[in-house]
Structures are given as structure tokens and as C-alpha cells.
Structure 1
């Protein structure tokens, strides 16, 4: 239930007051781990990380100034894959920040890096591979870039993301 409240709060209030970021800039949003977000090990439960990441990506789109445009176009973001590296648990009532940025794209997907950080350091780093879909069809990357007003060169994907892409290729080859 608290994630619905956080989503409403994000859409109704926070996204209207978020800072402006460049298309390849880093968005930052702060949260506090409520007791209902934590598991019996007294840290943020693993299932909450992707939920918080969803909210942070919405906030990033708002900071870029494209959220309302994409909604009007009927573009729905769809996560294709995600990978997580958990480093340090987030304790109940601890404040943390989620740093979100687009790290690149290829002919089909765009790649997002999300980091959970606090004054204690890095807690989790995750990568997300996603697309936008409209009426059951994928929105071409070029259309997304055009609507976002991005006309610079494509950034090089990090070695980590390239290895992750190779992993997907290998998985498909096994089937």
C-alpha cells in the first residue's frame, strides 16, 4: 500500500518540483526505508528495490521534461531485464537516495543504471534494459530520442553492460 502512496506523491507533487536534468544526466530522489519495506532480517527486502527503481525512473523522466509528453503519446515503459548487485543492506528508517541515469542504447533497447546510496556508501547497483511500447508495438529508439530532443552522438556502453548483453545473446543461443 505504501508504494501506491509513494507513486501518487511522486506524480502529484514531487515530479512537478524535480530538478531539471539533461538526457544523460543523473536523477536523484530520496526515500526512507519504512518498517513495512523491510524483511525479517531487518533490512530493505529484495522485492522493494525494483519497486523503488520504478519510481526513480518515473522521476528521472519527469526531470528530463519528457514524462508528460510520453504519457500523452501513450508510450509505456517496459522493463525487459534487470540485474542487481547487493552490497550493503538498508536498515529500517534509514534515508537513502536512488541515482538513476541512462547509460546508453542499442538498436532495440535503452540501458539504465540505478544506484542506491546513503551516507554509509553504496548499497546496491542495478542495470535495467527497457523499451517504450505504444499500442502493443515497440517505440523505435530514434523516435524516443527525437521526442526527448537528444541530438548528440550515442554514448559507448560500459564494459559491464556489454558483457550483460553478451550474456543475453548466449542465453538465446541455448534455446
Structure 2
């Protein structure tokens, strides 16, 4: 089940947090509960992606995106993700999620997230996100204008550009046989 109560808790906790610039870092603290585990008694890899929502949505709130989405009746969707898993997170481990937007292009926002435990990065994700309306993807220039932030995107880091290029080479639709 989706962790709605945990999400509402995060949004509530950060409701009065200082606004962040578009590329600011949001930090949230969490615990790995028994229902987050897989059969090896560590944080389930799929649950990791769900828990990262608990960092992205408050980040979106703090940069002013949530208010714009509501006002414009737009939605936020994920269009891709790449994850590295490096350290185990076990039951009752405390960890923090660090989330930030690293930049954007004409269509997508690129969001970096790390899950940190005891000073070590347990996993790291790069998301491609899009804002959509009933006609499809809202161009980021239109999004920035709606947010009152008509600024040029920061240069994307080389590793993000390499991921974008690799994704462009990936066949779609995927194998059918």
C-alpha cells in the first residue's frame, strides 16, 4: 500500500519550511519499517522508489511547484529513473533522503535523490519528470513562466547528459519476442 500517512506527515512537517530555489536541496528523515522489507529483511528495491516520493513531493512544495500544479490543473509524472543500490537499509534503520532538481531541458525536469544512512549513501536515483496537462507534456519554459521564474536552465552535469543520451538510444517499444 502507498504510504499516504507518511507522505501527509512529510508535507505537514515541511509546510512552513523556508522556500527553496529550484535547485535547492530538501532533506527529510525516515525510518525503515517492517512493511518496507523484502524477504531478505532489508528495504525492498521497489519500496525504495516509493519512499523517494516522500522527498520529491515536499521538494516540489518548497520550490513552489505544487501550488502551480493546483492552480493550472497540471499533473506531475515520472518519465524515467535510474537507480544505484550500494548499501543495505535494514529494519528500523534511520535514514535521510536528500532531493534536488539538477536542471531541466525543453520537456523534462531532472531530479537527483540520495538515501543516506550513517553518513553513507545507500542508494542514488536520477529521475526524469514531466509536468502534464490534458494535451500532454507542458514545456518547461511554460512551467517556469507559471512559477514566475523565467530563468535559463543550469547546465546539466555530464553524467546526467550521458544518461539522457543513453535513454535516447534505448529501443521503444522494448522487445516483443
TM-score, scaled relative to structure 2: 0.89
Distance 1:156 1:50 in 2: 26
Q: Would you say how many aligned residue pairs link Structure 1 and Structure 2?
A: 174
For 1:16, what is the secondary structure of its paired residue? coil
In structure 1, the residue matched to 2:165 is: 166
User: How much has 1:136 moved relative to structure 2?
Assistant: 4.0
In structure 2, the residue matched to 1:79 is: 78
User: How much has 1:67 moved relative to structure 2?
Assistant: 1.3
2:151 is the counterpart of 1:148: no
For 1:47, what is the secondary structure of its paired residue? helix
In structure 2, the residue matched to 1:25 is: 24
2:55·2:97 contact (CA, 8 Å) conserved in 1? Answer: yes
Deviation readout 1:86-125 (Å, 9 max, x if unpaired)? 0101111111111111111112211110111122410001
What is the root-mean-square deviation of aligned Cα atoms in Å? 2.0
Map of 1:81-120 to 2, 5 A cutoff?
Answer: 81-120=80-119
1:18·1:62 contact (CA, 8 Å) conserved in 2? Answer: no
Question: Aligned pair in 2 of structure 1 residues 136, 56: CA closer, same or farther (>3 Å)?
Answer: farther
Distance 2:104 2:168 in 1: 16
List alignment gaps of at least 5 residues for structure 1: none
Distance 1:16 1:150 in 2: 21
TM-score, scaled relative to structure 1: 0.90
List alignment gaps of at least 5 residues for structure 2: none
Question: Aligned pair in 2 of structure 1 residues 30, 136: CA closer, same or farther (>3 Å)?
Answer: farther
Question: Aligned pair in 2 of structure 1 residues 24, 120: CA closer, same or farther (>3 Å)?
Answer: closer
More helix by share: 1
Distance 1:154 1:110 in 2: 10
In structure 2, the residue matched to 1:8 is: 8
For 1:42, what is the secondary structure of its paired residue? coil
